[in-house]
């Protein structure tokens, strides 16, 4: 819980100055400067000095209210990126595994053709599978855990 509040506060105040923050600060500074150099103009009256303070309080409140939204958005982006990377790795692993299995199956095919007479051309061409019982036995002898 403590780490959440720490992250909440960091998220609320680490953002760059927004447009509202900028304009509130600029207007407050200009009014203060004008009142300082031209006191007879009475730009800032008895309570107008509170305007910058309330604007700052408003900015802080808005940032604190928006921080959970920013955190959720950040988490969703991270999760999406991690999921995309995971899917890419899985697809690469699947392709590599398929290539590895194809190479492994070439060896039993050569043995099957060399040890049998009258092997159909379709089996040699790879358009028809070898007998699954024989292939599975050879895979077991080779130490493979998968079967056809």
In tens, the pLDDT along 1-60 reads: 778 888 888 888 776 667 777 777 777 778 777 777 877 777 666 666 677 778 778 878
Look up the pTM and report it. 0.46
d(CA 95, CA 42): 77
Q: Is residue 42 part of a domain?
A: yes
What is the count of structural domains for the chain?
1
Q: Is residue 148 part of a domain?
A: no
Contact between 8 and 67 (Cβ < 8 Å): yes
Q: How many whole angstroms from its chain centre is CA 89?
A: 14
Percent of the chain with pLDDT strictly greater than 70: 91
Q: Is residue 147 part of a domain?
A: no
Q: Is residue 37 part of a domain?
A: yes
Mean pLDDT across 117-136: 80
CA angle 140, 145, 146 (to 5 degrees): 100
- 18-48 core/surface letters (b: 16 or more CB in 10 A; e: else): eeebeebeeebeebbeebeeeeeeeebeeee
Q: Is residue 47 part of a domain?
A: yes
d(CA 72, CA 61): 18
pLDDT for res 16: 62
pLDDT for res 128: 80
Q: For residue 132, is pLDDT > 90?
A: no
Q: Is residue 17 part of a domain?
A: yes
Higher-pLDDT residue of 70 and 38 is 70
Q: Report H helices in the chain.
A: 2-14, 19-37, 50-115, 121-125, 132-142
d(CA 106, CA 113): 11
pLDDT for res 44: 66
Full residue range of the structural domain in which residue 99 is found: 2-142
């Amino acid at each position: 819980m403590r780490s959440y509040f720490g992250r909440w506060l960091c998220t609320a105040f680490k953002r760059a100055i927004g447009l509202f923050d900028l304009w509130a600060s600029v207007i407050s500074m200009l009014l203060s400067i004008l009142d300082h150099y031209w006191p007879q103009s009475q730009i800032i009256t008895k309570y107008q000095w509170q305007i910058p303070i309330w604007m700052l309080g408003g900015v802080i409140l808005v940032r604190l209210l928006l921080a959970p939204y920013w955190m959720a958005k950040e988490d969703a982006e991270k999760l999406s990126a991690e999921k995309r990377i995971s899917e890419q790795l899985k697809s690469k692993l699947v392709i590599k595994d398929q290539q590895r299995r194809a190479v492994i199956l070439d060896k039993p095919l050569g043995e099957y053709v060399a040890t049998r007479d009258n092997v159909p051309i379709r089996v040699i061409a790879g358009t028809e599978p070898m007998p699954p019982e024989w292939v599975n036995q050879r895979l077991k002898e080779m130490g493979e855990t998968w079967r056809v």
